[in-house]
Structure 1
């Protein structure tokens, strides 16, 4: 009887047993963590020095309600905040815009102005906390709001730390929350790189995101290849602007997904680090810190099931272990109920405890890269890396990520993988516990978290009050200044910060740039 053929979702065949002869010929057994090419980690001591940053992605309803959740999470041991924004905020509409109806405060917090930002971080000193903001098309506005608020707190901007996602290319490929066409969007990204290098040096100016590419249905190989191709495009755009790769390169960060195939995920993280170091070196980086792939991980939202949702605790635990064995710098763990709704407070606490138990009870964090030298993991790392390089070569042959997106290549590859994955579930070739095997008939009595539609009325009233208590002439003046700088090619960040300080709303700023750049369709 022939051996059963087992493939990962990336179509990498898994052998029945791995031996020394399966190790890649290129394996450097003397490679050290904290040194090029960083396969074994970006820090020499990794988690022995300090654990990864434990974040919990949170935001819903109004800024005031989200602020309560942040204080709760900080009291439970969260080390950094991670802000989710609602859909209108993500695509540049105020809460009273007709297109915002039914979406205000639903998938994240609603932020319209500097006043909302003050409410969101009430009682939190920005110098003392690292804040990640999952925002892209309007990332420059949210960063400006954060900077303006920090200034009003009297903070030293050189000490402010955090990240804006600011990865617009993956929006065209996988998510769809873009506003402007690709070229002006890339210009805004490089404006942020340039301004932050001089003014907020500890801020991570981009989180180049494979997470959403994976959520849209890509394989692990595609997640790495498409993400690093996008990263290369951002670096090349910054180099064309005349920026120093050894300066802005240190502030690039990445965002990856963690799925259920433990060893493929570990191999993915190790391969991605090695590949990015090689890419940055080829583009001219000489400072080792500019070659490091530092990344945040979130457990796989698309892997969670609405059926038997408590099973998701086990899935998230496996994914947590994969991220930690893979050397992540920060981690968000999903609530077990997120296939049903935003996480309840209890689900968020259990998700955080999963990280804490892994960090302090499992022993995984006691040594650096504990799976290094494993015949299986080293062979899988090398094979996954080679598949990813092959895919990157195809993208480069098209002219890079922007061209590949404009031609629809990346979107088609993701769609094909998503279809294949779903087909395997429906035929039973891929087992999902509780979905196509081991089902139960009784309903799950899981409490669900709901956001009331009345939030839009509250936000609209706040907007009316804001507009009645500001200087209309100054608003017109600063918005015209923004228009002039956008039209002339100057860096727009100083004008956006000035606009939010004079109480211009997010929607007004986004609309001003719509009038200059147009909208992507």
Structure 2
């Protein structure tokens, strides 16, 4: 029996084992013409490079997907990003989306929360509840997830510098609901390097920020083993203007740095790496995006196996969430964004994403209305149930074009990775502004092409419409800000001030030692110390960047 056939039959055994744990959604998958669809398509004439570059789904190098049956066994998580105003308002939006068929939650926090300020801090003026929900304390987190069972739904939280604090709040709410932390699933973004590169919501300098991340890795490995401790993000790198190659390379460079930092801190790579996740952008160039996701899986598998010695296949798997590209949404003719979003989401599905957020058509103008949020969710549901895209594994695999693009993206990304290693790694490259300058150059080049009409943006530099009707936009009632201030004032009056004082002192002392910071932060959260108070204790020790 030749090598390929032997591998193929071994993979079929894995499929049968997988189906015992996760049965396929249907007994038979077929096209509309009643043509039965295979689970996987492979070359009729076997090329010896196939096993090295592609292999089989669920096996190294994972180019064709991280699970043997992919979406035939379980669809991607439909996780719409939501959050605005007060915790009570966002709780109602969460319940609405879940009732409409969303299968996971994704929390947007307001800017003060993201940079460690309470709603009543002068630095928060004008920003409370604007780009996400205002969370000041455990009381707000309890309200945010009121009547939502946290052991029944997975939650992604876009939070970075104060990720330890918000994670502690989330886990405490789960415990108060009676959930076992072993069953609580979700993801914190917790990716500080891309904040210095592209997004800007950092608080502390790089080195103490890296310590906070490794403390979370260690804590969750022991206390919340099903929770994803980091979502290493290329999304914001792409939103800042990078190319697909830069998004791929800089994200993996940052990932290397996090893994190395954890290993240097004494953690076993196979104990924490299975909970490392990624977050990529779904951009406009359909085939390039699908190839990018495939290249990312292959590169990460090789990095983890060959550079870090990871043996556990789950440590080698690149699991990722995709959000379609906000930077491609246009304020002009916003209905066109429905088409852009659908195509970007399709590329993510064909590329094998594990979860997906589809933007609403009006997000270039405001936070989405319920109607536009529903259309965005329906876009995913149509892709899942009506297009056949989920009926076979890696449907673009074997295309001459896709395989060539996958190889070229990988090659160019490794060129960047080699350059970053020459600079001393991702942290040093950030400090030397290398990645920032590369992104700025790419963004400038793209903008020049749009201005010269070398690159067409429909409705913006071509096919304009001068008499566009004004769309219906979501209006936020800002009276909630004074109510948020009052809630915070009442909380501080009603809590045990002595307990809070001792808990904050413990956070400060832990920051000055080598103690894992998650434990004292969680104790401070439990006695209703606020995000700003805990962040200020760490500012006192670490300083600001």
Same fold by TM (over 0.5)? Answer: yes
Query: Which of 128, 136, 154 is 1:130 aligned to?
Result: 154
Residue 450 of structure 2 aligns with which residue?
A: 425
1:67 and 1:169 map into 2 onto residues whose CA distance is 30
Aligned to 1:207: 231
Tell me the residue number matched to 1:240. 264
- Aligned counterpart in structure 1 of residue 498 of structure 2, from 473, 479, 484: 473
SS in 2 for 1:126: coil
The match for 2:299 is 275
Indicate the residue corresponding to 1:56 in structure 2.
80
Question: Match for residue 306 of structure 1?
Answer: 331
Name the structure 2 match of 1:341. 366
- Are residues 1:185 and 2:209 paired? yes
Partner of 2:116: 92
State the partner residue of 2:542.
Answer: 517
State the TM-score, normalizing by the size of structure 1. 0.95
Q: Which residue of 1 aligns with 2:397?
A: 372
Partner of 2:261, secondary structure, is: helix
Name the SS of the counterpart of 2:187 in structure 1.
Answer: strand
1:443 CA drift (Å): 2.1
Asked if 1 retains the 8 angstrom alpha-carbon contact of 2:281 and 2:325, the reply is yes
Q: What secondary structure is seen at the aligned counterpart in 2 of 1:35?
A: coil
Q: 1:24 to 1:211 in 2, by over 3 A?
A: farther
Which residue does the alignment assign to 1:262? 286
- Say which of 527, 530, 542 aligns to 1:502: 527
The correspondence for 1:143, drawn from 151, 167, 170, is 167
Taking the aligned partners of 1:517 and 1:374, their CA distance within structure 2 comes to 51
**Structure 2 residue 413 is the aligned partner of structure 1 residue 388:** yes
- Local SS of the residue matching 2:309: coil
Q: Secondary structure at the match of 2:75?
A: coil
Q: Residues 296-350 of structure 1, C-alpha deviation per residue, up to 9 Å, x if partnerless?
A: 0000000000000000000000001000000000000000000000111001000
Shift of 1:458: 1.2
Query: Helix, strand or coil: the match of 2:151?
Result: helix
**Alignment partner, residue 408 of structure 1:** 433
| Corresponding residue of 1:77 | 101
Shift of 1:27: 4.3
Match status 1:221 vs 2:261: no
Alignment partner of 1:116 is 2:135: no
Measured against aligned partners, the alpha-carbon deviations of 1:32-53 in whole angstroms (never above 9, x if no partner) come to 0100010000000000001000
Alignment partners' CA distance in 2, 1:98 and 1:341: 25
Moved more, 445-454 or 181-190: 445-454
Contact 1:101 1:456 in 2 (8 A): no
Q: Does 2:506 align with 1:484?
A: no
Residues 68-114 of structure 1: per-residue CA shift (max 9 Å, x gap): 00000000000000000000000000000001010000000000001
- What TM-score does the superposition give when structure 2 sets the normalisation length? 0.90
State the shift of 1:454 in Å: 2.5
User: Per-residue deviation at 1:261?
Assistant: 0.5
Show structure 1 runs of 4+ deviating over 6 A: none
Question: Displacement of 1:244 after TM fit?
Answer: 1.1
1:34 aligns with 2:58: yes
Partner of 1:397: 422
Alpha carbons 1:86, 1:104 under 8 Å: kept: yes
Closer, same or farther: CA 510–24 of 1 in aligned 2, 3 Å? farther
* C-alpha distance 112-32 of structure 1, shift in aligned 2 (>3 A): same
Shift of residue 26, structure 1, vs aligned partner: 4.5
Structure 2 CA distance, aligned partners of 1:102 and 1:483?
30
Give deviations 1:119-177, integer Å, cap 9, x for gaps.
10010011111000000001110000011111111110100000000000000000000
Return closer, same or farther for 1:69/1:24 CA change in 2, 3 Å cut-off.
farther
Runs of 5+ unmatched residues, structure 1: 1-19
- Taking only aligned residues, the RMSD between alpha carbons, in angstroms, comes to 1.3
Structure 2, unmatched stretches of 5+, are: 1-42
Contact between 1:24 and 1:382, CA under 8 Å: does it hold in 2?
Answer: no
| 1:436 corresponds to | 461
Q: SS at 1:364's partner residue?
A: coil
Question: How much has 1:473 moved relative to structure 2?
Answer: 1.1
CA shift for structure 1 position 364: 0.6
Alpha-carbon separation, structure 1, partners of 2:376 and 2:442: 29
8 A Cα contact 1:308 1:444, kept in partner: no
Deviations 1:350-402 (A, max 9, x none): 00000000000000100000011000000010011100000110001101000
Shift, 1:247, TM fit: 1.4
Q: How many angstroms apart in 1 are the aligned matches of 2:531 and 2:263? A: 29
CA contact (8 A) 2:54 2:61 kept: no
Which digits, 9 at most, give the CA deviation of each residue in 1:218-241, with x for residues without a partner?
000000000000000000000011
Contact 2:54–2:63 at 8 Å: present in 1 too? no
Query: Do the aligned residues in 2 keep the contact of 1:139 with 1:165 (CA within 8 Å)?
Result: yes
Match of 1:460 in 2: 485
**Partner Cα distance (2:377, 2:472) in 1:** 19
The answer as to whether partners of 1:102 and 1:453 remain within 8 angstroms in 2 is: no
Question: Is the CA contact (8 Å cut-off) linking 2:54 and 2:64 kept in structure 1?
Answer: no
SS in 2 for 1:128: coil
Residues matched between the structures, number: 499
**CA distance in 2 between partners of 1:258 and 1:503 (Å):** 38
